Amino acid sequence: MASPPSSKKHTSIDKNPQKIQKIFSLLSSIDAKQLINTHNISILSFNAQSINKHINEINILTKELNYPSLLAISETWHPHVNTNLSMYHAPIIKTRQNKRGGGVAIYCLEKFNLTRMPDLETDDKSILESITAKIQTDSGLTFLITSLYLPPNTNIKLCQLEIQQLFEKLNNTKMPFIISGDLNIDLNKRNAKIDIYSALLESSQLIQHVRQSTRITCHSSTLIDHIITNSKIDPITKTLTDQIADHQAILTVWKRRKTKIKPLKTEIKSINTSKISENLSNHDWNKWIHNNKEHNPDQITEKLLQIIEQLIAENTTRKNIPKNQQPKNKWIKQSTLQLRMEVLASRRKFLRKRNETLEKEFKQKKKSYEKALRNDKINYYHKEIEKNQGNSKKIWEIINEITGKKSKKNTTIPTSDTVEKIASNFNIYFRNIATNIEKNIPPPKIQFERYLSQTQKPTTTFKLSSTTTSDVIKVIAGLK
């Protein structure tokens, strides 16, 4: 998986497609997590085919893998939902201009520094879509990561210059770099398109590391998702059994840790409530009352609790939850986790015996799982909001949790300032806050007049009732 020794000529693409087809042991999420835990840097790459649709699955997979250092995503489409993930910086995303589909993104753990590098990207008019970031780890290592997407059925001759120029830009930085993306160039085949692509890699002295098919159906098995590095990075690259859309995810790791992280054991209790109920029903309570009639109420209560505690202890079993069955979010029901296990099992079954029936069965299970996942989240937060009506603090905590907004650090007001100075500073801050925010808002791609012209004029009217001071005081008093 790693690049060949420096004394030999680097091989950018394996020249024997049959060899690639034979290497077909996809990595499970448990083994992938072990790789992540034993390396300082890890990158999870995948084709999302809409972050809007799959944000919940992305969130679950990153938690299950113990938070890879970076996520490189292709086909983000146009995200309009909350795209923030726990433990990660807000993503950098590049979407298509006035066109559907496409789009690329990069997520980075909060403990690393993330800086976007627009000069190392293709422009908005290019066929090849790319986004690049400079990463500085907590140990001081600095490298570049680029996420790519090349639309299917693209004539490589039309974008050959774009690819070459991007490779040159990255090489000229003299920094370690990794390129990840869905290039829709099938390395399981041998044709003129592959030859041009291979020549581009070799002329730039770059190495493509993926050796297993990344999109598998009952009719085809293609290697179209690539991981490319220069010689300054010597990674391990594995194709996973997990997938977000219809592509397998790819894990890339390097910089092995000196010490291994011991996984935490998670234990659950299984209490046989029906057996406890049966024992309580069969207990000779007449005899027990007779034996305890001389005791005071506190002593009787204590003895009754001892009986119940003993029954619970006798009918309780403890066991470790398998890692892949542990809840990844508090809103996910156990039944949905079980459905996910069925999806993974169905996927493995399909990969062993690829046929239309098994593929259809897998897709149906996956669709049911995604629907259950969305419903679990909606129902959980609906109940939380209903439960906390009137508690404005808790409501805002729930809203921030849903939107992924992180709490801001409290700012201490200097006590040495006079009351007039503090009041003046508050006044200046709130007077300028709107204009300061406005300065950081990028110009819109589509003007608001376009939406207004497509919106039907309302035919109904509404009226605001007059409000008195006592009405306002009553509402404020009801807040917690």
Is-above-0.75 flag for pTM?
no
Q: What is the signed CA dihedral for 450, 452, 457, 460, rounded to 10 degrees?
A: 150
- What is the spatial distance between Cα 458 and Cα 163, in angstroms, rounded to a whole number? 50
Relative orientation angle of helices 356-387 and 51-64, to the nearest 10 degrees: 90
Which of the residues in the chain have pLDDT under 70?
1-25, 258-269, 318-328, 406-417, 445, 480
Would you report the helix, strand and coil content of the chain in percent, each value rounded to 5? 40, 20, 40
Return the number of other C-beta atoms located less than 10 Å from residue 444's C-beta.
Answer: 8
Owner of token pair 């009041």: 423
What homologous superfamily is domain 17-256 in, according to CATH?
Answer: Endonuclease/exonuclease/phosphatase (3.60.10.10)
43 SS3 class: strand
- What is the spatial distance between Cα 308 and Cα 35, in angstroms, rounded to a whole number? 46
Q: What is the signed CA dihedral for 175, 178, 179, 181, rounded to 10 degrees?
A: -160
Q: pLDDT (tens digit, 9 = 90+) per residue, 397-452?
A: 888 888 777 665 555 556 556 778 888 888 888 888 888 888 877 777 677 777 77
- What is the spatial distance between Cα 249 and Cα 480, in angstroms, rounded to a whole number? 46
Q: Nearest to residue 211, comparing CAs of 48, 23, 75, 406? A: 23
356 SS3 class: helix
Which contiguous run of DSSP H or E holds residue 467? Answer: none
Identify the burial level of 441 via C-beta atoms within 10 angstroms of its C-beta, where 0-12 means exposed, 13-18 middle and 19 or more buried: exposed
276 SS3 class: helix
- What is the spatial distance between Cα 124 and Cα 149, in angstroms, rounded to a whole number? 13
- What is the spatial distance between Cα 142 and Cα 264, in angstroms, rounded to a whole number? 30
Longest dimension (CA), the chain: 98
- What is the spatial distance between Cα 134 and Cα 106, in angstroms, rounded to a whole number? 11
Q: What integer pLDDT is reported at residue 359 of this predicted model?
A: 92
CA angle 70, 330, 241 (to 5 degrees): 45
Q: Nearest to residue 13, comparing CAs of 188, 239, 252? A: 188
Owner of token pair 């503090």: 422
Task: Tell me the CB-side half-sphere exposure of residue 129, using CA atoms within 13 A.
Answer: 27
315 SS3 class: coil
What does the DSSP assignment read for 66-116? T--SEEEEE------S----TTBPPPEEE--SS-SS--EEEEEBTTSEEEE
Q: What are phi and psi of 35, to 5 degrees?
A: -60, -45
- What is the spatial distance between Cα 171 and Cα 166, in angstroms, rounded to a whole number? 9
The answer to whether the beta carbons of residues 156 and 197 sit under 8 Å apart is yes
Q: What integer pLDDT is reported at residue 6 of this predicted model?
A: 42
Q: What integer pLDDT is reported at residue 132 of this predicted model?
A: 97
- What are the structural domain ranges in the chain? 17-256, 267-320
- What is the spatial distance between Cα 22 and Cα 10, in angstroms, rounded to a whole number? 22
Q: What percent of the chain has a predicted confidence (pLDDT) above 70?
A: 87
Q: What integer pLDDT is reported at residue 259 of this predicted model?
A: 61
